[in-house]
């Protein structure tokens, strides 16, 4: 039963003053705000960011601010639902676009939040994660899980830009966010595990029982070429609604990071793709193609390299125009699964 709850204004002024005087407050005027009926009320507002609009400002940051003065030269995306300066695109997800110029390095550090990069443009960038040198090619997903050392470098000729996704808002909220700085890492002289141990899906080296346990994050780089190939093959047999593949830990099958999920999507051209409404919030990064997404009744146009956000339980319809489109969805499904409340509802 939806009863009408009392308001603050109904209470006598002296009572209200007495409460704030001893640092307490009544729950009932705020009860529905913190526990709305049946479904959450998102703060996040769906939004589309045009890469073409951000790119020139990011390149200008390359002239205005040397990397030494920035540590990470990043323009981050601000959720319009939270207002100017909010360092988040949803409750849990931070997204930034980072620029590294030829010859520059972004110093090594380790932090409690986890990060992943999706390479947007430029050749020759690399990230060193716990001693593995991970080449960065367009569309690659590169993990830097919390607690892993990482620095970035660039041995190419043109600016390199990538998208950073972090669970920073969550760690900040938990009062658990901090970083430790260190010297640049000397990378191992071998290709990274995606090229050595984990060449093919479904194959992994046998566990060794005579050695310390394997790295909890054995594969840090997911080359886009393989992902696109896998999606194209899967889509032929996946029926309508496009194809989706989750990025997983090849040793355990678990999501590739503890709180953030990454899902590669193929949207077949001309087809309306209507996923169920999900309790997770999402950020879509367009790898290729163009089209639009209708999110809670509002149309957001997109093309390659753009970013679109959607709040929890959004009703979404994607449509790729004139060619198949590829996206990577960044979401907080893994966190919600761990908390025991991840949910999908019919549209
Ligand atoms: O590259 O390590 O966008 O630590 C924000 C925080 C990137 C990074 C960000 C970071 C990084």
Q: What is the pLDDT of residues 138-175, one digit of tens each?
A: 999 999 999 999 999 999 999 999 999 999 999 999 99
For residues 83 and 312, the model is more confident at 312
Q: What pLDDT band is residue 108 in, cutting at 50, 70 and 90?
A: very high
- At residue 241, the pLDDT reads 87
Name residues whose C-beta falls within 8 Å of residue 268's C-beta, 6 or more positions apart in sequence. 235, 242, 320, 324
- Mean pLDDT for the chain overall: 96
Best residue for ligand 1 mutational test, from 96, 100, 170 (most atoms within 8 Å of Cβ): 96
What residues make up the domain containing 75? 39-198+220-345
Average pLDDT over every residue of 37-66: 98
Does residue 12 lie within any of the structural domains?
no
Does residue 210 lie within any of the structural domains?
no
Q: Which atom of ligand 1 is nearest to the CA of 96?
A: 3
How many domains does the chain contain in total?
1
Structure tokens at 328: 């990577």
Q: Which atom of ligand 1 is nearest to the CA of 144?
A: 2
Tell how far the Cα of 72 is from the centroid of ligand 1, in angstroms.
6
Determine whether 63 is exposed, middle or buried from the number of CB atoms within 10 Å of its CB (0-12, 13-18, 19+): exposed
Tell how far the Cα of 182 is from the centroid of ligand 1, in angstroms.
15
Does residue 99 lie within any of the structural domains?
yes
Does residue 54 lie within any of the structural domains?
yes
Counting Cα atoms < 13 Å in the Cβ hemisphere of 228 gives: 14
Tell how far the Cα of 311 is from the centroid of ligand 1, in angstroms.
23
Does residue 28 lie within any of the structural domains?
no
Does residue 332 lie within any of the structural domains?
yes
The H-assigned helical ranges of 65-177 are 67-70, 168-173
Best residue for ligand 1 mutational test, from 76, 111, 145, 166 (most atoms within 8 Å of Cβ): 166
Q: What pLDDT band is residue 79 in, cutting at 50, 70 and 90?
A: very high
Average pLDDT over every residue of 34-49: 98
Q: Which atom of ligand 1 is nearest to the CA of 98?
A: 3
Residue 103 falls in which region: left (phi positive, over 0), alpha (psi -120 to 50) or beta: left
Q: What pLDDT band is residue 49 in, cutting at 50, 70 and 90?
A: very high
Structure tokens at 338: 């761990």
- At residue 2, the pLDDT reads 67
The domain that holds 334 is classified in CATH as 2.60.120.10
- At residue 63, the pLDDT reads 98
- At residue 239, the pLDDT reads 83
Q: What is the pLDDT of residues 10-31, one digit of tens each?
A: 999 999 999 999 999 999 999 9
Q: Which atom of ligand 1 is nearest to the CA of 117?
A: 1
Residues comprising the chain, all counted:
347
Does residue 60 lie within any of the structural domains?
yes
123 SS3 class: coil
**Strand 74-76 and strand 282-295: pairing?**
unpaired
Task: Give nearest CA residue, ligand 1 atom 6.
Answer: 72
Does residue 44 lie within any of the structural domains?
yes
Q: What is the pLDDT of residues 193-208, one digit of tens each?
A: 999 999 999 999 998 8
pTM, entire model: 0.97
Tell how far the Cα of 19 is from the centroid of ligand 1, in angstroms.
42
Average pLDDT over every residue of 323-331: 98
Q: Which helix (H) or strand (E) holds 20?
A: helix 13-21
Beta strands in 238-279, from DSSP E residues, in sequence order: 243-246, 261-267, 272-273, 277-278
The H-assigned helical ranges of 99-177 are 168-173
Which residues form the pocket of ligand 1, taking CB atoms under 6 Å from any ligand atom? Answer: 72, 74, 96, 98, 111, 115, 150, 164, 166
Q: What is the pLDDT of residues 201-257, one digit of tens each?
A: 999 999 888 988 778 999 999 999 999 999 999 999 988 889 999 999 999 999 999
Tell how far the Cα of 273 is from the centroid of ligand 1, in angstroms.
33
């Amino acid at each position: 039963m939806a009863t009408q709850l009392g308001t603050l204004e109904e209470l006598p002024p002296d009572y209200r003053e007495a409460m704030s005087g001893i640092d307490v407050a009544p729950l009932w005027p705020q009860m529905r705000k913190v526990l709305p009926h049946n479904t959450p009320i998102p703060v996040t507002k769906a939004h589309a960011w045009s890469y073409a609009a951000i790119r020139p400002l990011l390149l200008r940051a390359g002239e205005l601010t040397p990397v030494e003065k920035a540590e990470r030269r990043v323009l981050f995306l601000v959720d319009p639902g939270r207002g100017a300066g909010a360092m988040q695109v949803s409750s849990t997800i931070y997204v930034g676009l980072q620029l590294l110029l030829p010859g520059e390095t972004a110093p090594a550090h380790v932090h409690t939040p986890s990060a992943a990069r999706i390479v947007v443009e430029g050749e020759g960038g690399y990230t060193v994660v716990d001693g593995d040198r991970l080449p960065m090619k367009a569309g690659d997903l590169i993990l830097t899980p919390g607690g892993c050392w990482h620095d970035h470098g660039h041995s190419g000729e043109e600016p390199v830009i990538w998208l950073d996704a972090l669970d920073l808002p969550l760690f900040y909220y938990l009062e658990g966010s901090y970083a430790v700085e260190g010297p640049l890492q000397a990378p191992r002289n071998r290709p990274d595990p995606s090229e050595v141990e984990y060449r093919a899906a479904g194959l992994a080296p046998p566990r060794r029982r005579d050695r310390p346990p394997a790295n909890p994050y054995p594969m840090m780089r997911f080359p886009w070429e393989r992902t696109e190939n896998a999606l194209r093959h899967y889509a032929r047999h996946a029926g309508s609604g496009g194809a989706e593949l989750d990025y997983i830990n090849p040793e355990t099958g678990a999501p590739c990071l503890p709180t953030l999920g990454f899902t590669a999507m193929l949207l077949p051209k001309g087809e309306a793709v209507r996923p169920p409404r999900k309790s997770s919030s999402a950020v879509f990064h367009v790898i290729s193609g163009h089209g639009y997404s209708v999110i809670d009744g509002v149309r957001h146009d997109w093309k390659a390299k753009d970013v679109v956000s959607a709040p929890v339980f959004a009703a979404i319809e994607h449509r790729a125009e004139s060619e198949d489109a590829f996206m990577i969805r960044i979401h907080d499904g893994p966190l919600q699964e761990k908390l025991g409340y991840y949910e999908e509802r019919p549209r």
